[in-house]
A and B are shown apart, each in its own frame.
Chain A
Amino acid sequence: MTVYLLKRLAIALATLVLASIVVFAVLEILPGDPARLMLGMNASADQVELLRNQMGLNAPLLLRYLHWAGGLASLDFGRSYTYSVPVIDLVRERLAVSLPLALIALALSTLIAIPVGLYSASRRGRVGDTVAMGAAQLGVAVPNFWFALMLIYVFAVWLRLVPAGGFPGWGPGAWPALKSLLLPAVALALPQAAILARVTRSALIEVLNEDYIRTARAKGLPYRAVLWRHALRNAMIPVLTILGLQFAFLLAGTIIIENVFYLPGLGRLVFQAITQRDLIVVESVVMLLVAAVIAVNLLVDLSYAVVDPRLRSRP
């Protein structure tokens, strides 16, 4: 178990380092000089050169990478060119919107998907299953921003239950903040829930054909008890895998959804930073997202071992 844990941790760290090299390299190759961008088109070559030196842009590549990576490790992301504030402050502020959004969406999609998957698998081929999976098919096919628009129309414009966009901040209390995150979270969660429900259903159906399900039935357990006690846990491995992979899509989805709902989150930040060529911000946010995805997948790997005892005894 310890060996398994350490191995996973080492792999996660290696992935993080590799990702940082790729992110750094890609932004290095992209055209556009940040110094010239900051100073504007009218600045002289000397001024640009001076700023480049100040920003350390003329140092050797490796040194710049090490400096940048070292900064990341100590949470010093550098200063934003456009906002002229430390990137960490920007990120911290935006994270207060994006992290709750992603977590609520993740929780929602799991809470919708697993019961639907269970329901569908237990009434496989019947009307309920067909309807649920038809809805899931729709959920997979329809993009989340369209869901967002429909949700805004129904719940914000028509029923006037929640705001159509914007974010009041956490200052006025948790409820108004949560209320404005609700629709975006639902819009993010629905397509994810659709995929997850399909995976849960098919994993369960496979497990329900296993011999040990028959053994459990022969013990006298009713079907429902067999489903919950024996099938669900065995079906969790593929579900967890998809859950981990989906987290990356969830983060990518926030970029679109935050723009639709006008939320001051990381997604909006990175979107603006890209259009303004604020490379430091882009690099930092991308690395943050990469780290989040790696961390979630590490958690998924560890949860495998919790679910399946065969992995615990394996190196």
Chain B
Amino acid sequence: MSLLEIEDLSLTIGGARILKGMGISVAPGEIMGLVGESGSGKSMAALTVMRLLPHAARATGRVSFDGIDILAASEDQMCALRGDDIGMVFQEPMTALNPVKTIGEQVAEGIRWHSGATRAEAEDRARKMLDRVGLPEAKFPLSRYPHELSGGQRQRVVIAIACALKPKLLIADEPTTALDVVLQAQILDLLRDLVAENRMGLLLISHDLAVVTEMADRITILRHGEVMEAGDTAPTLSAQLHPYTRQLAQASMHVPARPKTHLADTAAKPLLEVEGVTRDYRGRRISLFRRAPDVRAVDDVSLSMAAGQSVALVGRSGCGKSTLARMVLALDRPSSGAIRFRGETITGRSEAELAPARRDMQVVFQDPYGSFDPRQKVERLIAEPLHVLEKWPTRAERREMVAHALHEVGLDQRDMDKYPHEFSGGQRQRLSIARAIITRPKLVVADEPVSALDVSIRAQILDLFASLNQKLGIAYLFITHDLTVARAITDEVLVMHEGRIVERGKTNDVLDRPQSEAARALVAAAPDLHRAIARRMQEQG
């Protein structure tokens, strides 16, 4: 008997057809993986089960949970189900908790609401639940506020809220996408344990095939609101009978072709040299006369990069990799140490003196949505870095350069008169790259450039990075917590941990035989589709 049974579910929101006759089922104690790219309707399917859809949404079909017809249930019935029999965990832990309420209040609230327990009883149960999800009382009393916790800890609180009343079904919508790989592995373990303890059904929604393969008993693949394929995880993914399944699997393991590789040539002058760089942030003032000790974000880091070389800087979130990148880009000043770019020192220089260096280094950020001014046209956005050129181009020259840059990233030159909102996420990341290469830089620093993208788009963007490296000889510094990106596109890897570089070497050497503890933890936690399928095959025969 299925716990959740969705049949022939269609959903429209303001004329747009989001789901088209979609079906899925989850049995008690089963983990069902729902995989799809953005816009496939997977989150909307989850919100339909919770009946938390936007007002304009219209759903038809059959959604039955534990014998209850969800689509016909009254709002009161739904309130009784939500948080009690069905729990939900969301993607973004940083914003999922109310900032003005303590974690204790937020966990206890649902318990009190559903069970009518007294405040003391509810807090007692909240305490036990927080202990269970790995937030022990000594370090995480109920009186903590969300802003005092890290992303991974907040996601544990969200899980505690969702599982406090031992729901029959837990819906987890991209629960680990915003976390680094080590935290991801911990959260996935926690979810797996909770499923086993309570024979809870888990509907795990993800765009990451490797994560779903590691977790799910069965898998449903969704595209444009239609189920492409569904079945037991191991046979479905090993056979890859459906072309879309194959396409997804291949995209998530995609490695761009890079005939030329660049290894550090000790004879040639390095493009970038970082020597003993340290960055301290002043401690927070804790009283009128006292400050907390300084926080050392980057601790005595040295590295060098050759022209045309592609280097990955990998590490967990908060390890200092973005701070280091900001200093390389001269957007932040080191507390001590020196950074040389093309042989010239760039630390402690004025903006005017930095202009020549800025021409030769550009940046690509993670979020293709937040990194453009929505009110400016593409032409101006992409031409932005041109102001560092010695001679400012005329309008005609500028249009010519923008057209050329757009062409190089695979966009049409007519796109320059459009606004950013007219582009998809992948196209916007192409725009970011066009903006970065328009000055013909020697170095591009890319901070998690593909982690916000779908697998197939991501494969295309990695290809683009690789081809620009081959064609234009641009060196890359990739900042990422995703080892598949590092493996796909870099020659060398630097592993950063608590502000220090703890390991460096050729990418394949480091990733296949990690030496340091930090590197081993990253490699062990990183989901790997091949490995996951092999393990599933063994388990499921």
Q: Please list the residues of chain A having a beta carbon within 8 angstroms of any beta carbon in chain B.
A: 2-3, 6, 210-212, 214-222, 225, 229-230, 233-234, 307-310, 313-315
Contact = CB atoms under 8 A, between A and B. Distances in A.
Given A214-B52, A215-B90, 4 more contacts: A211-B92, A219-B83, A219-B161, A230-B98
Given A218-B83, A219-B113, A310 B99 contact: yes
Contact of B90 (A211, A233, A307, A313): A211
A6 B79 CA distance: 46
A230 B96 CA distance: 12
7 contacts: A3-B288, A210-B95, A214-B96, A218-B88, A219-B110, A220-B80, A230-B98
Contact of A221 (B81, B99, B109, B148): B109
Q: How large is the interface on B (under 10, 10 to 19, 20 to 34, 35 or more residues)?
A: 35 or more
B113 to A, nearest CB: 6
Interface in B286-329: 287-288
Interface string B91-112: 0100111111100001001100
Contact of B145 (A216, A234, A309): A309
Task: Across the A-B interface, give the 6 residue pairs with the lowest CB-CB distance, nearest first.
Answer: A220-B83, A219-B83, A219-B110, A315-B285, A220-B82, A211-B95
B99 A222 contact: no
Contacts of B97: 212, 215
A6 B285 CA distance: 13
A229 B99 CA distance: 12
Contacts of B99: 212, 234, 308-310
B87 interface: yes
Interface of B: 50, 52, 75-76, 79-84, 87-88, 90, 92, 95-101, 106, 109-110, 113-114, 145, 147-148, 158, 161-162, 284-285, 287-288
Contacts of B81: 220
A308 B102 CA distance: 11
A310 B288 contact: no
B83 A234 contact: no
Nearest to A309: B145
A218 B285 contact: no
A215 B82 contact: no
A315 B284 contact: yes
A307 B100 contact: yes
A73 B75 CA distance: 61
A256 B81 CA distance: 57
Contact of A217 (B82, B92, B285): B82
A247 B82 CA distance: 43
B133 to A, nearest CB: 15
Given A3-B285, A217-B82, A212 B145 contact: no
A233 B98 CA distance: 10
Nearest to A1: B287
B98 A216 contact: yes
A310 B90 contact: no
A151 B90 CA distance: 53
Contacts of B88: 218
Contacts of B76: 222
B113 A220 contact: yes
Nearest to B100: A233
B288 A6 contact: yes
A53 to B, nearest CB: 48
Contacts of B52: 214, 217-218
B113 A212 contact: no
B87 A218 contact: yes
Given A2-B287, A315-B285, A218 B100 contact: no
Given A3-B288, A214-B90, A219 B98 contact: no
Contacts of B92: 211
A210 B100 CA distance: 13
A240 B92 CA distance: 29
Contacts of B284: 314-315
A227 to B, nearest CB: 13
Q: Which of A211, A218, A229, A234 has the most CB of B within 10 A?
A: A218
B285 A219 contact: no
A5 to B, nearest CB: 10
Contacts of A233: 100
A246 B97 CA distance: 32
Given A211-B92, A215-B90, A310-B145, A221 B100 contact: no
A220 B85 CA distance: 10
A302 to B, nearest CB: 16
Contact of A220 (B79, B90, B100, B147): B79
B129 to A, nearest CB: 13
Given A215-B96, A234-B99, A222 B79 contact: yes
B169 to A, nearest CB: 12
Contact of B84 (A220, A307, A313): A220
Given A6-B288, A218-B83, A218-B87, A310 B113 contact: no
Contacts of B109: 216, 219, 221, 229
Contacts of B75: 222
A193 B213 CA distance: 57
A220 B287 contact: no
B113 A230 contact: no
Given A3-B285, A220-B82, A215 B161 contact: yes
Contacts of A6: 288
Q: Which residue, B92, B98, B106, B284, has most C-beta atoms of chain A within 10 A?
A: B98
A203 B363 CA distance: 35
Nearest to B291: A315
A6 B158 CA distance: 36
B100 A308 contact: yes
Contacts of B113: 219-221, 225
Given A2-B288, A219-B110, A221-B109, A313 B148 contact: yes
Nearest to B289: A3
A219 B101 CA distance: 15
A21 to B, nearest CB: 28
A210 B99 CA distance: 11
A32 B142 CA distance: 67
